[in-house]
Amino acid sequence: MNILVVGGGGREHAIIHKLTESPKVSRIYAAPGNGGIAALAECVPIKATDLEKMVEFAVSHAIDFCVIAPDDPLVLGMADAMEEAGIRCFGPNRAAAVLEGSKVFSKNLMKKYGIPTAAYETFSDPAEAMAYVRGQNRFPTVIKADGLALGKGVLIAEDLAAAEEGIRSIMEDRIFGQSGSRIVIEEFLTGPEVSVLAFTDSHTIVPMVSAMDHKRALDGDCGLNTGGMGSIAPNPFLTPELLEECRRSIFVPTMEAMNQEGRPFKGVIFFGLMLTPQGPKVIEYNCRFGDPEAQSVLPLLESDLLEIFEACADERLAEVEIRFSDRAAACVMMASGGYPVSYESGKEISGLEPDGQSSRARIYHSGTRLEDGRYYTAGGRVLGVCGSGATVAEALEKAYQAVGSISFDQAHYRKDIGRRALEAGK
């Protein structure tokens, strides 16, 4: 089969790497792909959000199956456009992708169907939002822009002044653009965070091995929120009992709620969970694999990923086997100095083999460019360095050994990926 994978980051590299193991795959295109992906797939310079060109390419290149990995094309309706053109694809349609595309939608869905989440109110008038935080006078409080904001649309306000400033900057100054025309203000939750990605065809939902992201830029969970600086899988905080509770109170009810709303979801639902003292609660939904969660979850998948993708699209997920290894994986993200604020690109990367890999660990490229056989940085997040082993500790050791052998000017990485999980004695 000819496969087109939409996207060009580490998540897409991990998806493509897994797809190359499928005997059904003959050729893979990636749009736009990146320097590291180029070793496994033909990269096509089409922007992930360019629906028209993407469909045109799929039709003219006899694509048998399209995998839409990032959130923005899904929210824009790329799955609908592909299907209209007769191209089978993996990823929710526009009606279902609203689960991630609108926080107001997802919060109201959870309220309506009794799915545990932080208590909240929604606002489209800044004055009302201000009056609400003043009246509540409970801090910290959490302010979220309604729409997509590159994972940055969440502000945690420690006091009234910060909350008022947050509301002003999102709703009036529009620091997240149109995403800020409506906001959610919600209760601040505490507890370990867990990412669970689950395959669903709208009838069956199958959670993958759990993961833990590390969103803050600096060690000790300090600094700004990023797209994710590293991940481990499995997440030791999610015990089998808690997983079962999540399945019963969150995973299945979410799939069924989307059916009830006439928005059947086919693809990956990403459950961002917090294990609070009152039980697991949903922090956010995403309509796709996480990045860098995919880089530590997919290497543990032992079944054929293309078969699973096809089964989701054809609504026969119950028929396929989805098996994960009981080993562990870890991904340490090497980023450009200054990320997530401002950073320079175009730095030459040393320590990689000609195919962009390392002999010590698997490398999933997030933002690189290949030119004349050399790799250069081309983004905030540059390389996801991924180790695997019998335990998370072993996987981390391998990943960090490889990180030590790779360098570029002003490279920055966190030195404490997975430490909290290990220290909790899990």
Q: Which residues are near ligand GLY by CB under 6 A? A: 151, 213, 228, 286, 290-291, 293
Q: Which residue is nearest to ligand GLY (CB)?
A: 290
Which option in ligand GLY, ligand AMP, none does residue 189 bind, with CB closer than 5 to 8 A by kind?
A: ligand AMP
Which option in ligand GLY, ligand AMP, none does residue 88 bind, with CB closer than 5 to 8 A by kind?
A: none
Cβ atoms of 76 and 393 closer than 8 Å: no
Which option in ligand GLY, ligand AMP, none does residue 310 bind, with CB closer than 5 to 8 A by kind?
A: none
Give the β-pairing of 27-32 and 212-213: unpaired
Question: C-beta of 71: minimal distance to ligand GLY in Å?
Answer: 8
The DSSP bridge partners found for residue 371 are: 374
Question: Of 167 and 363, which CB lies nearer to ligand AMP in the complex structure?
Answer: 167
CA distance between the termini of the chain: 42
Question: Of 228 and 384, which CB lies nearer to ligand GLY in the complex structure?
Answer: 228
Question: C-beta of 76: minimal distance to ligand GLY in Å?
Answer: 17
CB atoms within 10 A of CB 42: 14
Give the β-pairing of 222-225 and 279-286: unpaired
Question: Of 210 and 377, which CB lies nearer to ligand AMP in the complex structure?
Answer: 210
The DSSP bridge partners found for residue 281 are: 274
Positions in the binding site for ligand AMP (CB under 6 A)? 118, 142, 151, 154, 186-189, 193, 215, 225, 272, 283-284
Residue with tokens 């310079």: 45
CB atoms within 10 A of CB 320: 18
Which option in ligand AMP, ligand GLY, none does residue 283 bind, with CB closer than 5 to 8 A by kind?
A: ligand AMP
Cβ atoms of 242 and 273 closer than 8 Å: no
Question: C-beta of 36: minimal distance to ligand AMP in Å?
Answer: 26
Q: Which residue is nearest to ligand AMP (CB)?
A: 284
Which option in ligand AMP, ligand GLY, none does residue 12 bind, with CB closer than 5 to 8 A by kind?
A: none
User: Among 409, 408, 396, which residue's Cα sits nearest to residue 214?
Assistant: 396
Which option in ligand AMP, ligand GLY, none does residue 118 bind, with CB closer than 5 to 8 A by kind?
A: ligand AMP
Which option in ligand AMP, ligand GLY, none does residue 193 bind, with CB closer than 5 to 8 A by kind?
A: ligand AMP
Cα(340)–Cα(404) distance, rounded to whole angstroms?
A: 22
Question: C-beta of 138: minimal distance to ligand GLY in Å?
Answer: 27
Question: C-beta of 197: minimal distance to ligand GLY in Å?
Answer: 9
φ and ψ of 353, to 5 deg: -75, 170
Which option in ligand GLY, ligand AMP, none does residue 293 bind, with CB closer than 5 to 8 A by kind?
A: ligand GLY
Cβ atoms of 224 and 310 closer than 8 Å: no
Query: Who contacts 225 (Cβ-Cβ below 8 Å, separation ≥6)?
Result: 151, 152, 154, 215, 216, 217, 340
Question: C-beta of 208: minimal distance to ligand GLY in Å?
Answer: 14
Tokens of 166: 């947050």
Cα(221)–Cα(218) distance, rounded to whole angstroms?
A: 6
Residue with tokens 């209760």: 187
Question: C-beta of 283: minimal distance to ligand AMP in Å?
Answer: 5
Question: C-beta of 340: minimal distance to ligand AMP in Å?
Answer: 12
